[in-house]
Structure formats: structure tokens, C-alpha cells
Chain A
Amino acid sequence: MSASVSVLLPPLAAGQVGDSALLERLPLMARDLLTAGLSEPWRWLANSLITIGAVIVIFASLFALLTLVERKVLGRVQNRPGPNRTGWGGILQPLADGIKMLTKEDIVPRSADRLLHFLAPVTLLALSVITFAVIPYGRHLVPVELDAAVLYFFAAGAATELAIFMAGWSSHNKYSLLAAMRALAQLISYELPLLLAFVPVIMLAGSLSTTAIVAAQGGWLWNFIPQWHVLTPPGFAGFVIFMVAALAESNRSPFDLPEAESELIAGHLTEYSGFKYALFFMAEYFGMCALSGMAVTLFLGGWQAPLPVLEFVPSYLWFAAKLLLVLLGFIWIRATFPRLRIDQLTRLAWKFLVPLALINLGTAAFWSLTHDWAGPMQLVRWGGVSLAPSSDVRRPRPGHQRGIAPRTYRYA
């Protein structure tokens, strides 16, 4: 199957994009220039360290930027300007927050498990950072090329539950414990739809390697419609499921149950102060960035430009733009929705998203098997894949039977 898909796509060569090749290679050339004087094993080590450093620095500044953007966007949505007095128009706000966090007293509760209490943020951060390794940021910019990159990504991402549970358990606080329980229930529930959601992509691309998946999304139909997976019916359904599950996996509203402010104070973070809290915060944003990056890679064509004429823009910029767009979506959703309850949350996962993802799996198989249908058969193909997921959307769900509907009211 992978062969049949790759035949459809134009072969990719580095020299094909012409002038932009230099720009494309610019980060790599800079790195090579720095390490040019070193002998081979050292050079490899230096190259890797530079890559790791660059990824961490870039995402750390993205994290800083993101906190600011989130506060600004939330502000704008709520008819107010947001932070604008620290630095020029508020640009230094994250810096101020960072300095304050760094210089804040670090409190470990007397009854807490000191070791776990310390390890939890470190583990979470480490696990979030290593997921960055396999995301292709540009045409030539993949920190680690793995054959099973997608698998690696989700394995590392799934382990973050452990860290959250550690935090909740070690704090020895009733709210934290409840949060830990919620986190486990929630993250395990959403691991499944998350995994099932991208299986269609793997079926379409025929590979577990992220580079190959991005490469499979290159090219344009009739020279202007990009062949991204999100624009195919199973890919679109997969994208929606993936994004819902990603919201839940990264503990974002409306699934921010583990740290639900109005119920559990700050959930598993209740007992964390100062820099450890900042680490948690950072790790959560890293997790969100990684999942968004993966969404971009799997569904939104990775670093591919949306139109042929726009190819002169370096691919990593396209990736950054798409990443920011997805992150903005996260913020937008946070600004709008109330939170679900834990039972509704798990019900949504098991009774709606998982069946939908399974149906989508079948649809994807049908879709990729029928890629050569043409003429009127094309209509049948589109009809088939569009109807299948909607059968799940329309299916009556026992949990929702008790009349969740708009109501009319009478007057005395």
C-alpha cells in the first residue's frame, strides 16, 4: 500500500525548490559552521547538543511567548487589552513572571513525599521535551529520524500521566489526590482515541516515520489544493478526534479537570510553588506544543506550503505558522467553553470518540483502497466515507438520553 501511495506523489528532491534551498538549509549550515573544526565523534556530539539546545531554547521562548499571547488573546476576547505595561506593550511580561518565579520561595509541605514531590515536575518536563525529538520542523530539520517516530512520540507522551499522578500523590493534599485520580482516568481514556485517530494517517501514508508522513502530504491537486491529510474525509475525522483528544491530553479547557480551579483549587499543582510550579507550567505548554506539532505533522501537511507559489518561504516558517495557528485554536477554545464533568468526560471518550475513531479506521481503509475509483464511482467513494462517521454522531447514546436539550418555559 505504501508503494501505491508514493507513486501518486511527485518525488521529492532537495534541489527542486530552487532558490529557497539556501534558506531551507540555513539552520543546518549554521550548525555545521560552528562545529566544522571538530573531529568526527566530537562533531556528532556537538551537533546533537546544538540541536537539543536549539529545540529547547526555541520552545522555551515559544512557551514564554505563548503565555503572553494567551493572556493577550483571552484579554481581547474579553474586551480588555491584557498585559501591556511591562516592557513594550507587555512583551516583557513573561520575563517578569520568570524572574519572579525563579526568586520565589520553594515550599515542600511537611507531610509530602519529598523525593516524589521533587521528581514530578522534572519527570513531566523531561518527558515533554523528548517528544520534540521526532517532529520534523522543516524540510531538513528533524532532530532524530526514527522509523517508528509516531510510536515513540505517543509512548513518551503517555508517560506524562505518571508524572501528574506523582505530583498529585506526593503532595499529600486532598485536592491534589482527587486531581491525580482524575488525571489518570482522563489521560488513559483519551490515550485511546488519540492513538486511533492517527492510524488512518499511517494507513494513508504507509509509514510510521514522521518525515515520510509529511512527505506523503506534498504536492497539490490541480495545482492549488494541498494534499494534506486533513483534507481527506478520514483524515478530517481523524483530525477532529485527534484535536479533541489532544485538548484532553494536554489538560486544556474544556478538559482541564485535573487542575479545575473552581473545584479543586489547582489540582495536582496545589502544593507547588516557585520554580517547580513554573516547571509544571512549562511542561504543560511543552506538551501542548508537542501535540500541536504532531497534529500539524500528521494532518496539516507538516512543513509543506499551502500553495505552490508560496514555496519560496522556508519550510520551517510554514511549520511555525501552522503550529501557532493550532495553538491559537487551543486558546480560542479555552476562551469559550465551560468544563466537562469527569463522568461526562470519560463517557465522551469511550462512547463517542472511540467508536468514531474505529469507524474512521474502516473508512480510511475503504478510502485508500478505492483511491483509483474515478468518474461516478468517485461520488460513491465520497458518499461512503462521509456517511460512515455521521452514523456515530447521530447514534443515540444511552448516557445522553436523559433529555439534554434546549427547553421551553411557561409563564404564570
Chain B
Amino acid sequence: MTMSDATRPAINAQTSAPLSGPTDADRDELRRHGILLTSIQELANWGRSNSVWPLQFGLACCAIEMIAASMARFDIARFGSEVFRPSPRQADLLIVSGTVTKKMAPQVIRLWNQMPEPKYCIAMGACAISGGPFKQGYNVLKGIDRFIPVDVYIPGCPPRPEALLNGLIELQKNIRGRHIAGPAPVEADSPTAPGEYPVPAFGERDLEPTSNPKLWQPPVIVRPDKP
């Protein structure tokens, strides 16, 4: 497969913000000498990463595995994340658990807009990442990352609850590497409503627009012709 990397824009730029502080190795070294090195940023990141409250928001099959992850066998509470808040105002994490249909997409984006910063998004399962098995459907959104930024993708159909926990651990690592000022402002499309993502309207045949072009620029695929 040849893919012109030059045309691929930086998607999810905010996830790769490097931590401009001491590295983990430095910190371990200091800790060994009895010095607990910390800073406001680290403290905040520690607090945020250990208290990720997900939005109680299930879409489809994966939602059941999400619920299962919060149940006794897997117990997401061990990570401090069992507080599934039903209101987006109190949630930190949007787990897009299942197929996002075109009819549902505006609602998901609205929920995301209603969540306070800092907020994170996990695309759980094939359908949330790319439309998955249902991507050939006329009413299925081909990946939630067309409209909102996704921090962690968990493939699987559905992913095991352990895989969700694994994704959560990845997210916690990601949060610990962030700057306190929040993610890089790739969003903020409209100057009148900063931080809000445009909500698509229902069109006659499709959502309008079909993606958020500021956020989503798909790379170009170039395949050699089939023999």
C-alpha cells in the first residue's frame, strides 16, 4: 500500500503533546533518593487521571461491555472511574460505545459540547472508530472522529471489558503527559462559541456537513490497480 504521507494532516495533534518536565526515569531516580518531585501540573494531572468520571452513555452492543466493565468482575471502580455520571456537565470522559448513526451523531456532538474541559473521548469498538461492520450502511457514521477529537481508540467488536480497562489505562497515561492548560486548541471553530464543535444538521440525504473539516481531513488512499 502506498500512501502519500505528505497529504496526511496532523490528526489528534493534542494527544501527542510531550511533557516538557522531568521524565519518568528522572522521577524514579529522585524518588529512590527520597525526593518526591512534583509540580502543580503533575498534581493536577495525577488528580485528573485518577478520577476520570465517564458519561453514562451507551449506544449499542459495546455499551453492554462498558457496563460489564463497571460490574463486579472487572470493576472499573478500582481506577476511580465507576462514577458514571448521567449528566454531561459532571463527566470527564465520553465513551462512544457503539455505532453512531447519522441520526444520533448531532446528539453525540451536543453532549460533547456540553461537557466541561478537560474532557476526553474514547472510541470504543469498531463501529465508533470507523463504522465497523456497519460502515456500508446508509445511516451509519463512519467514525466519530469525523466530528469530535478522540483520544484513545479501542478496536474490537465488542472489545472485552479488559480491553476497555486497557484503554482507560492508556488514557490515564495520556492525561499524565498533558499540559495543565488543557489540550492544544485545535478545536474552537466558531469565535462566538469557543470550544464548541459545530453540530451537523439533518439533510435530505445525509448529514450536512458530513464531517468537521477543521478536525477531520482523511488521508488520500492510493492503491495500485488490482492485477
Contact = CB atoms under 8 A, between A and B. Distances in A.
B90 interface: yes
Interface in B58-103: 71-73, 75, 77-80, 82, 85-87, 89-90, 92
Interface of B: 43-44, 46-51, 56, 71-73, 75, 77-80, 82, 85-87, 89-90, 92, 114, 116-118, 180
Q: How large is the interface on A (under 10, 10 to 19, 20 to 34, 35 or more residues)?
A: 35 or more
A92 B78 CA distance: 12
B75 A81 contact: yes
9 contacts: A80-B75, A82-B78, A83-B80, A83-B82, A99-B46, A101-B51, A104-B92, A104-B117, A107-B116
Contact of A96 (B51, B71, B78): B51
Nearest to A277: B90
Given A86-B79, A107-B89, 16 more contacts: A75-B75, A79-B72, A82-B75, A85-B79, A86-B50, A93-B80, A96-B48, A96-B49, A96-B50, A96-B80, A97-B51, A99-B47, A103-B180, A104-B118, A266-B87, A277-B89
Nearest to B47: A99
Contacts of A98: 47
Interface of A: 71, 75, 78-86, 90, 92-93, 95-101, 103-107, 261, 265-266, 269-274, 277
A99 B86 contact: no
Contacts of B51: 86, 93, 96-97, 99-101
Contacts of B78: 81-85, 90
A382 to B, nearest CB: 46
Given A105-B117, A107-B116, A269 B87 contact: yes
Nearest to B180: A103
B87 A105 contact: no
Nearest to B70: A80
B97 to A, nearest CB: 18
A71 B85 CA distance: 14
A129 B163 CA distance: 44
A90 B50 CA distance: 10
Nearest to B169: A85
B153 to A, nearest CB: 23
Nearest to B172: A85
A80 B77 contact: yes
B166 to A, nearest CB: 14
Contact of B86 (A82, A86, A265, A277): A265
Contact of A100 (B48, B73, B79): B48
Contact of B116 (A80, A81, A106, A265): A106
A83 B86 contact: no
B116 A266 contact: no
Contacts of B75: 75, 80-82
A71 B43 CA distance: 23
A103 B92 CA distance: 11
A96 B47 contact: yes
B151 to A, nearest CB: 16
B89 A95 contact: no
Contacts of A97: 47, 51, 80
A271 B51 CA distance: 20
Given A71-B82, A85-B80, A103-B180, A265 B117 contact: no
